[in-house]
Amino acid sequence: MKNFVFAMMAACSIFGASAQDLHGISLNAPSKQCGTDVMTAFANRQSCRSYADKELSLQQLSDLLWAANGVNRPEKGMRTAPSALNYQDVDIYVCTAKGAYLYDAKANKLVPVTAEDLRKDVAKGQDFAAVAPVSLVLVSDLSKMRGGDTPQNRLTGALDAGIVSQNISIACAGMGLATVPRGTMDKEVLAQKLKLKATQVPFLNHPVGFAK
Ligand SMILES: Cc1cc2nc3c(=O)[nH]c(=O)nc-3n(C[C@H](O)[C@H](O)[C@H](O)COP(=O)(O)O)c2cc1C
């Protein structure tokens, strides 16, 4: 029944027909044949600071999140992005006009977090970032690392987030999507509104959409 609800929501639109209540969204299986070859993606990668008012399809969002940090070896639960000591500390929060979700890579689902549009909090004065239909916030959970919140583990979290960020940049370039890696964001407000634990640190974000 739960899967049926997820499927119905996905069939209506990516982010559901009603803005009142936020529902979970089942993502599609990644279409591993889509996009350019990897060298063309590198040739096309660039930062974009002007976005069209156009939504991503469910398939595009599914493909992008899988490329960013999805499960690519299900038998071992391993991910498309490497992480130090396989900590798998980086979570991706997906901020949209309808609300914010946590990407559950293992279940291939978006888990609802808040019905509020947090893209302005992510943009923090860089208005172009709030125009993009999706903002991905990369958060490292230091509690997944041996020793917890230490200066060394904060560095490790930043490195792991940087690798996910580069996956996003190259995937966007290959898929014809536009993005820019950003360190700017209102971290305190986002920590509160995304209900982050004290050990969860937002390091980077990516507005994603179509170049205007
Ligand atoms: C760690 C990091 C943080 C960044 N933060 C921002 C930012 O807050 N705002 C922004 O507009 N661009 C940001 N950028 C994008 C850089 O300005 C951009 O990558 C650089 O100017 C080179 O341009 P290119 O990406 O088109 O090659 C950031 C890039 C990195 C790697």
CATH class of segment(s) 28-209: alpha beta
pLDDT digits (tens, 9 = 90+) for 109-152: 999 999 999 999 999 999 999 999 999 999 999 999 999 999 99
Q: Would you say residue 210 has pLDDT above 50?
A: yes
Which residue owns the Cα nearest ligand 1 atom 15?
Answer: 181
pLDDT digits (tens, 9 = 90+) for 175-187: 999 999 999 999 9
Structure tokens at 74: 């299900």
For residue 46, give the ligand 1 atom closest to its CA.
26
Q: What is the mean pLDDT of the chain?
A: 93
Residue of 44, 45, 47 best suited for mutating to test ligand 1, as the one with most atoms within 8 Å of CB? 47
Ligand 1 centroid to 175 CA: how many Å? 20
The pLDDT value recorded for residue 47 is 98
pLDDT digits (tens, 9 = 90+) for 49-73: 999 999 999 999 999 999 999 999 9
Give residue limits of the domains in the chain: 28-209
The pLDDT value recorded for residue 14 is 57
Residue of 180, 186, 187 best suited for mutating to test ligand 1, as the one with most atoms within 8 Å of CB? 180
- Under 8 Å between Cβ of 92 and 137: yes
Residue with tokens 């889509």: 34
What is the pLDDT averaged over residues 150-166? 98
- Under 8 Å between Cβ of 131 and 178: no
Ligand 1 centroid to 58 CA: how many Å? 27
Exposure string for 71-102, b = 16+ CB within 10 A, e = fewer:
beeeeeeebbbebeeebbbbbbbbbbebbbbb
Residue whose C-alpha is closest to residue 62's, from 51, 71, 49, 52: 71
Q: Would you say residue 19 has pLDDT above 50?
A: no
